Amino acid sequence: MKILQVASGNFFSTYGGGQVYVKNIVDEMIRQRCSLIIFSFLDDSNGIEKRNYRGIDLYEIKNVERSELQQLIQAIQPDIIHAHSQKALMCTIGQALHIPVIVTSHHGGIVCPAGTLLNFKDEICNVSVSHTNCLPCVLRNIRSGKYWYPFMKQLSMEQYISLGEKLQAKPFIPFITPIGQSALYINCKQKEWQSIVEGCTRMIAPCHAIKEAMIRNGLDKKKIIVIPHGIPLPSNVSSLSSIGNECVKFFYVGRICYVKGIHVLLQAFNSLQQDNVELHLIGGAGNKGERRYMAQLQRKYKKDSRIIWHGKVEPEQVFDEIKNLHVLVLPSICLEIFGLNISESLAMGKPVLATRCGGAEMQIEDGVNGWLIEPNNVEALYTKMEEIISNKKRNYLMRSKQVVSIEKHCNTLLELYLNEISNGWKSHYF
């Protein structure tokens, strides 16, 4: 069985959980001596460059035409394609070449034009994609876009698209051109999603929340299977059953960005009056907007010496970084597809305080191995942290759910691949 793994963007990036996850499964499949090819998509320059990664072929794809990519896949002749990015493109090519395509959703952007399934009211979205529903969210992501919404909502989708096409044909006008193009983007996103709906042979949803979102937007529920992610388990776990009288060390691991709710966490933590408490923020910012957001928070809370900024660490360093910390806090306000940081913390015997954001409910039993609160609620987060600090017994490691190992997870994937290849072979030739 020859497997084509289409990485979540740049294969060597550790920017987000999707990238880390793909590298984990590739490394495990190599360990199991699977026949693999990797596609890694880059934004710079053009062409295709073949590299070697641990004895297997890795193709760096740089702005090529679909026909060239299709020819490459035809030459490679994979038995199955597992797409973590370029999902619509892979589904279209898979259909043309009669190769089964499995898609894994790594974020809300698979269906959401705004990218996060977070609406303009900072609530997790529970409606289907449409011009009416998505316009305020898309405009919010464009500088000065929200000021144009009262006017733009008066236009029909057809009028809005026509405006966008006219503006696109003219030289770029700051603030104006992106607003006109937003309707084109919503329309393009709907077409892209439809290609995935029609072309994928199987969709993997890491949590039930994203499964429901995809069904709500037209994906046949028979195509969806829920498979939680696995992680490389730590080799040495010092079981932390209690904290004793020492300082309570809360921590966060992940990207420092708005949708992760770091501003909510810092506001809640800053309100705590206790001195025997710390908050450790492990992670960095990627794009310009995230860097600006992080800088604003660092300035705002610079006088609180209990807040420690660690910066970004590599995935393989996470276990060492958190071994002497106590309680993970995941304050996300958007839909989290899974949350590798939750699995990593639970694997280290660390309880988790998280918002009900989709992926958290897959791994946390409230009051058993952690606590669940409503998202974007400073008061609720403050109250729960206060309760944790005030717990005199400090027995935070309760009965823990079993964390899925990367080995077990990959075995599940390989079994799925074989089933899809078998079903595809029957449908193609009989």
pLDDT tens per residue, range 79-120: 999 999 999 999 999 999 999 999 999 999 999 998 899 998
Of the spans 67-81, 105-119, 161-175, which averages the highest pLDDT? 67-81
Confidence (pTM) = 0.90
C-alpha to C-alpha distance for 404 and 202, rounded to whole angstroms = 21
| Domains (range + CATH), the chain | 2-104+406-429 (3.40.50.2000), 248-390 (3.40.50.2000)
Task: Assess contact for 329 and 353: CB atoms under 8 A.
Answer: yes
Q: What is the mean pLDDT of residues 131-156?
A: 82
**CB contact at 8 A, 140 and 115:** no
Region 192-201 average pLDDT = 96
pLDDT > 90 fraction of the chain, expressed in percent and rounded:
64
Amino acid of residue 90: M
Judge whether 40 and 11 are in contact, CB under 8 Å.
Answer: yes
Cβ–Cβ under 8 Å, residues 335 and 137: no
